[in-house]
Chain A
Amino acid sequence: MTVVASFVVPVHPHPMLAPESNEGYGRLRAAFDEASARIEASGADLLIVYSTTWPSIIGHQIQADPNPVWNLVDHDFHELGTMHYDFDIDADFAHAWRDAAEGRGLTARTVNYHGFPIDVGSVVSLSLLNPGNRIPAVIVSSNVYANRTETTVLAKSCLDAAAAAGKKVAVVAAMSLSNRMFTRRIEPEEDRIHSLKDDEWNRKILQFLEDGRLEDVGQLSRTIHHQIRVQKVVAFKPMWFLSAMNDHRNDLTGEVLAYEALHGAGGAVIHLDPASNGRGDKEYDEENVEVFGGDRNVLDTDSEEQDTEDAPAAHPAPASNSGPALWDPVEGEDAVNTDTAPKPVGAYPHARRVGDMLYLSGVGPRQPGTNAIPGGPIHDGKGQALDYDIKAQTRAVVQNVERVLKEAGGSLENVVDVTSFLVDMDRDFAGYNEVWADTLGKVGPTRTTLAIRSLPTPIAVEMKVVAHLPQ
């Protein structure tokens, strides 16, 4: 099991800096302490924080400074004092997550800069849930423009990286429920939920979560945002992330540890245990998407041209609309096939086992389901050359290799020999080689790299892999 516990926690600094000034703040602080103890008891060896107070624009940002140290002062509540932080971040995992996100078609980058301003939601969460840096953590931003699809794929890429690293993960969504604060200073003793409507909706959310119906709350997220959320830049997205991290389940074991007002906003500490409560049904009706296919370029100046007849479709769709037909992988006694790898372009299996050896058919970067090409196709439907990212393509190849190996019960560690094919050795060798060094290069298989004229689909790199996989 990858996710061993999930939590919702508030983002305001009051439980950290002024728990004694209001009984409610004190109860939230006690709930943080209880959640902290439960994280320790869960056996988690990695803490993932998805924070709504870290908005991003250029894709998804993942904190990768191994030891960020700074003083944070809240923009509104600066009179409460200074929050000093000194965190241990799992930078290796951050990089692996970034790679996995790119492999699923997302734009993602790690940030490792001295003095980077870690946001208040993350600082409060990590300070109170993980005192003394008991376990390493990773923080991810909440992208301003990301919709449900993109947020879901972000979570799945996190699970990819966690599974590959064998991590047991505790997930934290740093967020408010209703987020309307009083717009004038109030005394702590005057604090209450801003309106009856906000309170009713908050209690509705709490009831859902206490019943373990996380995916249902995800489905309600847009409604909740319209009903009780001030239209700040980051919408009510964390439930999409949290739900995808929990396999879109509605049968979790939920417990509300505290629910209180924070200057009018709704703050709750909630524990979602993956143990099934035996009741829930899956009711979600939105696509359980595996790969991000791009933002549809609705505002791109090229979109009109792309809509015209015979014009190539928007990136990265060309690959799904051109090239050879796709086949179901050939079945057979020794065949190894998986839905998590892209469909073949001919009559062959994904891999075939012979004794302790596993021989993979040529593996490219195409994505299962969408056929999209991370990093973009090398040419459009008319053969016009396009710019593409060889590193993204190479990472996607390695991930597809990993998927086939996983189906066979193995991992990249089992790879013994690789033959790589590049369609443009001069342009691409360096980028390909860099990704290789970060991935298969660490395993150490033998390798041969060849330049060839073309491949059957508009991709720049393919690998022929042989693995030793004792039965």
Chain B
Amino acid sequence: MGGGRIVAGCLAPHPPHLVYAENPPQNEPSSEGGWEQLRWGYDRLRASLAEVDHDVVVILSPHWQTYVGTHLLGLEQFEGFSVDPVFPNLFRYTYDLTIDLDLAEGIHAEALAAGLDAHMMRNPDFRVDYGTITTAHLTDPEWSKPLVVISSNRSRHYYSVEVMQEMMAELGRATKKAIEASGKRAVVLASNSLSHRHFTTEPEVPEDMSHEHITSHAMHLWDMRIIDHMVNGRTKQLLDEMPEFTDQAIAETDGGALTWLLHALDLPEYKATLHGYGTVIGTGNAVVEWPAWRHQEGSA
């Protein structure tokens, strides 16, 4: 085939609080709102993606954590009930998702060809992680597109941020290659926060926004610096600073999703669009889009 491409890449974090705040029918708990800055950011992202014709959404979530290689969901359908083990009071979500199995197999094959350890997950009882579900819901609440779901290999924990970046760079390039070979137009989502130090207590009303702020000034400075790199097209500098950022901001970039995304996008030098920034239980979260389609020949 051939002719496929990534039409947009997004940093699309997965705090379950945002789904909780929306009160969608799939989620059991109910709320009085909250975290509007981020939810409005997702509104803007959805509006932007609605303008981009695409066939499939590819997600890498830090909450499917694998230590033995990278794994991909390997059946056409997964349905079930996802309960967040950390915030079960907020997120108990009934899901039913479709996998683009051809593309998943294609990425798997390219990853193996690149020398990575990769596996297809074909156990029908497998429960899809809440990070994937949250990011998928927030970008497409109608679940209108098939997904490819990739696990987060924890190479940062086994080795270092540098090794993680090497592996995720390979995986990003493999993902890009497979998408191009598939002939499909793909949106690629990195499901992670930025700074990731939590508060260890929760207000009685979780959506009480008078309690919500970044955990420390240092975390705020790091988040703003990274966002500044994104919106000014300084991708290589961002990747260069990733080890310091990941360690000092205890950032969720440790899961490799952002590094993978930026390599899948072929290290974009164009400016990303910041749709929103906000904190969730003290962690920093940005909704950012790299509108690749605007920078591709013949795109409209």
**Those 3 A-B pairs whose CB atoms lie nearest each other, nearest first:** A78-B123, A82-B125, A73-B126
CB-based nearest A residue for B206: A58
B216 proximal to A (CB < 8 A): yes
Complex interface residues of chain B between 56 and 72 (CB less than 8 A to chain A): 64-69, 71
A180 proximal to B (CB < 8 A): yes
Most buried by A among B67, B155, B157: B67
- When chains A and B are docked, how far (Å) is the Cα of A295 from the Cα of B89? 23
Segment of B4-12, B78-86, B183-191, B263-271 in the binding face: B78-86
User: At the interface, is chain B mostly helix, strand, loop or mixed?
Assistant: loop
- When chains A and B are docked, how far (Å) is the Cα of A117 from the Cα of B153? 21
B209 proximal to A (CB < 8 A): no
Please give the distance in Å from B174's CB to the nearest CB on chain A: 16
Contact pick for A183, options B69, B86, B122, B217, CB 8 Å:
B69
CB-based nearest B residue for A83: B125
Contact pick for A184, options B68, B125, B202, CB 8 Å:
B68
A443 proximal to B (CB < 8 A): no
B117 proximal to A (CB < 8 A): yes
Per the CB 8 Å criterion, the residue count for chain B at the interface is: 40
- When chains A and B are docked, how far (Å) is the Cα of A55 from the Cα of B65? 13
Complex interface residues of chain A between 328 and 347 (CB less than 8 A to chain B): none
B92 proximal to A (CB < 8 A): yes
Per the CB 8 Å criterion, the residue count for chain A at the interface is: 41
Q: B67 to A76, Cβ gap below 8 A?
A: yes
Given contacts A116-B85, A116-B88, contact A78 B200 (CB under 8 A): no
A111 proximal to B (CB < 8 A): yes
Please give the distance in Å from A388's CB to the nearest CB on chain B: 12
Binding site for B on A (CB under 8 A): 54-59, 71-73, 75-79, 81-82, 107, 111, 113-117, 119, 143-145, 180-185, 230-232, 263, 295, 299-301
Chain A residues whose CB sits within 8 angstroms of the CB of B216 once the complex forms: 299-301
Chain B residues whose CB sits within 8 angstroms of the CB of A77 once the complex forms: 68
CB-based nearest B residue for A111: B88
Per-position binary interface string of chain B over residues 160-202, scored 1 when its CB falls under 8 Å from any chain A CB and 0 otherwise: 0000000000000000000000000000000000000110111
Given contacts A181-B68, A183-B69, 11 further A-B contacts (CB under 8 A): A54-B85, A58-B87, A71-B125, A72-B125, A75-B151, A76-B68, A82-B125, A117-B85, A185-B69, A299-B215, A301-B215
CB-based nearest A residue for B81: A115
Q: B68 to A185, Cβ gap below 8 A?
A: yes
Chain B residues whose CB sits within 8 angstroms of the CB of A57 once the complex forms: 86, 198, 200, 281
Q: B123 to A82, Cβ gap below 8 A?
A: yes
Please give the distance in Å from A380's CB to the nearest CB on chain B: 19
- When chains A and B are docked, how far (Å) is the Cα of A73 from the Cα of B217? 40
- When chains A and B are docked, how far (Å) is the Cα of A72 from the Cα of B126? 7
Given contacts A82-B123, A180-B158, contact A113 B92 (CB under 8 A): yes
Given contacts A111-B88, A113-B88, A301-B216, contact A75 B66 (CB under 8 A): yes
Chain B residues whose CB sits within 8 angstroms of the CB of A145 once the complex forms: 198, 200
B50 proximal to A (CB < 8 A): no
Please give the distance in Å from B12's CB to the nearest CB on chain A: 21
Given contacts A185-B69, A185-B117, A301-B216, contact A56 B151 (CB under 8 A): no
B119 proximal to A (CB < 8 A): yes
List 23 contacting pairs A-B, 8 Å CB cutoff, sorted by A: A55-B85, A55-B86, A57-B200, A58-B201, A59-B200, A71-B125, A73-B127, A75-B64, A77-B68, A78-B122, A82-B125, A111-B88, A113-B88, A115-B83, A143-B200, A145-B200, A183-B68, A183-B69, A183-B153, A184-B69, A185-B68, A232-B154, A300-B216
Q: B67 to A231, Cβ gap below 8 A?
A: no
Q: B157 to A58, Cβ gap below 8 A?
A: no
Chain A residues whose CB sits within 8 angstroms of the CB of B217 once the complex forms: 301
- When chains A and B are docked, how far (Å) is the Cα of A231 from the Cα of B67? 12
B145 proximal to A (CB < 8 A): no
Please give the distance in Å from A240's CB to the nearest CB on chain B: 17
- When chains A and B are docked, how far (Å) is the Cα of A261 from the Cα of B133? 34
